[in-house]
Amino acid sequence: MRQVILDTETTGIDPREGHRLVEIGAVEMINRRFTGRTYHQYINPERHIDAEVVAVHGIDDAKVANEPVFAQVADEFWAFIEGAELVIHNAPFDVGFIDHELKMLKNRDQPLGPVGDHCRILDTLVMARKMHPGQRNSLDALCKRYDIDNGHRVLHGALLDAEILADVYLAMTGGQTALTLDAEVNQEQRNDTPSETGLSVQRMSLSPGQLRVIAPSQDERQAHLAKCETHQLRWFEDTPGNA
C-alpha cells in the first residue's frame, strides 16, 4: 500500500477568509517502508502572512516572495499524492486548504481534486483520540508519549512535521520501530528522557531478509515447556477451590 504522510503551513486559519498555503511537505511510504521520496515546496500565497502564524512556522512574506504560486506547482504536487492514502494530523485543516487551492486553479482542461475523491485519508488526530481518550493528542504530545525525538522542532515546518508524523504513525500502529525497556541506556545514548510508558521508539530501516529469526534449540524448547508447566501448576494450586 502506498501512503503519503503530509503536512502544510498556511497564512492563517481559515481558507474561507482568503488564507492560502505557504508550504507543503510530504513523505512517501510503500508497505510501511520509507521509499526515500519526499515532496517539499514553499509557495507564494499572493497575500500577506499573518504575524501570529509567522510566530508558529517562521515563514514571512519575504521568505516566499520569490517562490512559485500554487498554480505553478499544482501538477507536480498532485502527481505525488494522487491515489495514495494520505496520513495527516487533523486532516480537515490540511485537506480544506488543498481543496481550496485546487478550486482556484483556472483554465484547466482537466480539473484537479477534490482530494477525497482521489485519495484515501487517514486522520491520525482522530486515531489518537480513540486510542488515548481524555489526553492531549497534539503532535508534540504524541512524540512525548511514544518517545520520539522532536527536539529539533523549534518551529513548525511542513516537511519536518511530516517526517515526525511518519514516525508517530508507525509507533501508533505497531510498525517498523525498535522497542527497548532499558530506558537508562537509551537516555544516555540519545540524551533524551524516557517515555511515560518506559518504552523507547526508534525508526528502523530494514531491507527484506535483513531481520534474522533464530529458532530455539531442543534444550531451550524443553526448558521453556518445563517452566510453563511449573507456572500452570502454581496457578492451579493458588486458585481458590483447587486445593
Active site residues: 156
Whether the CB-CB separation of 137 and 147 falls below 8 Å is answered with no
Count of CB atoms situated within 10 Å of the CB of 37: 12
Question: Which three cell numbers, joined as nine digits, stand for 159?
Answer: 516537511
Helix (H) or strand (E) segment spanning residue 21: strand 21-30
Q: CA 22 to CA 59: how far, in whole Å? A: 8
Q: How many CA atoms lie within 13 A of 239 on its CB side?
A: 7
Cα distances from 188 to residues 152, 182, 184, in angstroms, run: 18, 10, 6
Whether the CB-CB separation of 130 and 123 falls below 8 Å is answered with no
Question: Which three cell numbers, joined as nine digits, stand for 6?
Answer: 503530509
Beta-bridge partner residues of 177: 203
For the chain, how big is the Rg over CA atoms in Å? 24
Close Cβ partners of 52 (under 8 Å, ≥ 6 residues apart): 12
Question: Which three cell numbers, joined as nine digits, stand for 37?
Answer: 521520496
